[in-house]
Amino acid sequence: MIFSIALIIILGLIANRLFARFNLPGLLGMIIVGIVIGPYGLDWIEPAIMRNAADIRMLALVVILLRAGLGLEKDLLQQIGPTAIKMSFIPCLLEGFTVMGMAYWLLGLPWVEAGILGFIIAAVSPAVIVPAMLNLKAEGWGMKRGVPILVLAGASVDDVFAITLFTAFLGMATQAGQSLAFQVAWIPVQIIGGILLGALLGLGLDALFRRLDLTRLEAIGLTLTSALAALLLGKALELAGLLGVMTLGFVLLERRRDLAAQQERALNQVWFFAQIFLFILIGAEVDLAVAWQAGLTGLVIIAAGLLARTTGVMLSLRGSDLTRKERIFTAIAYTPKATVQAAIGGIPLAMGIASGATMLALAVLAVVITASLGAIAIQATTPHLLERAPETQ
């Protein structure tokens, strides 16, 4: 295992630097490294790491979402609030049901199985979107009207809708679980409960910091432990645990601004290494042979879904103060997929769903196409579609 860890770190560092030299997103290089050295490539990553890959990726996501929460300004959130709410569900629902319809029409899947596929594909990737938006925020791109914050806030809830509806359709296919109506009604409870959970943990953390004399390292350790508690409690209570992680950071920023700034800087350093494991292990889950099986029909279905998602973004932004260029950028930033598809794409096949192999093929194809092209498009279009805040130029 030590050899695999060392290999992941060194190849990740090399890929990140090499792709940055060619003005390409470093994460793309790391995903490619994962594909090459993963079990479907050279198979250089030890099985013990692959067995725990989902937990390792989740730890990295906790780091980046906590970092995001520590940088969410209350004034900007109030400014974009109504638009962010629309962004959190309209694009996801339009994409999910569009893919569902296309799968029924082009692949001949039963409606329930088409629904499972629709909401596997519909989820966006916090792993790709969150670090990209935090980089834009740090450099001042689009911050006049809070474009990166809008995308961050919307994407953090988007997955709640996608995963809940995926679970509902999967339950219908296996005659297990609650009804679709119940699952949909439960979504607001998950979101509000996740926010309340994160807020309570954030307030408790603030109280501990006021009572205890901690070093910086002890403080960051306690914050990370609280973020993991938000994740675990969210899972146990069926609440939006990742949203709770971000909320915890936000509450800490509001209560202890100086400490939050210190912790955000520390998490930047942790993220430098966490991202290597996140993106390489995402790549390691990709089987290009499976993606190839999806063929041209798979490409058409994914493209139709992305078109529907873009339409949903534009509908969500109606009435906002974003410029036409900023709206186009927001639609581009809302396309990458990776984490959720890697996590749930194989579940229907493992549960014996008749079209499970087809679902896995389209999930892998969606990751291959959107994670790479989306990351490149975000980086390439930023200077053309967004304005940079004067103080950061």
32 inside domain: no
Structure confidence at residue 76 (pLDDT): 73
pTM of the model: 0.86
Phi, psi angles (nearest 5°) of residue 374: -65, -45
Report how far apart, in Å, the C-alpha atoms of 154 and of each of 181, 183, 198, 260 are. 23, 20, 17, 22
From the number of C-beta atoms within 10 Å of its C-beta (0-12, 13-18, 19+), residue 126 rates as buried
**DSSP assignment of 318-369, as one string?**
TTS---HHHHHHHHHHT----HHHHHHTTHHHHTT-TTHHHHHHHHHHHIII
Structure tokens at 213: 């004399």
Structure confidence at residue 325 (pLDDT): 97
pLDDT tens digits, residue range 255-268?
Answer: 988 888 899 989 98
Structure confidence at residue 391 (pLDDT): 60
Q: What is the CATH number of the domain that holds 75?
A: 1.20.1530.20
19 inside domain: no
55 inside domain: no
Structure tokens at 374: 């989306």
Structure confidence at residue 4 (pLDDT): 93
pLDDT < 50: residue spans in the chain: 393
46 inside domain: no
325 inside domain: yes
Three-state DSSP state, 72: coil
283 inside domain: yes
Three-state DSSP state, 188: helix
Contact yes or no for 288/368 (Cβ under 8 A): yes
Contact yes or no for 369/121 (Cβ under 8 A): no
Q: Which amino acid is at 106?
A: L
Phi, psi angles (nearest 5°) of residue 388: -100, 135
d(Cα 284, Cα 19) in Å, to the nearest integer?
18
The total number of structural domains in the chain stands at 1
Chain-centroid distance of CA 377 in Å reads 17
35 inside domain: no
Three-state DSSP state, 388: strand
pLDDT tens digits, residue range 327-365?
Answer: 999 999 999 998 788 878 888 988 889 899 899 999 999
Structure tokens at 328: 């186009």
253 inside domain: yes
d(Cα 187, Cα 239) in Å, to the nearest integer?
9
Contact yes or no for 167/183 (Cβ under 8 A): yes
Structure confidence at residue 176 (pLDDT): 64
Provide the domain limits for residue 194. Answer: 64-392
Dihedral angle computed from the Cα positions of residues 356, 357, 359 and 360, in that order, rounded to the nearest 10 degrees: 120
As a whole number, the mean pLDDT across the chain is: 90
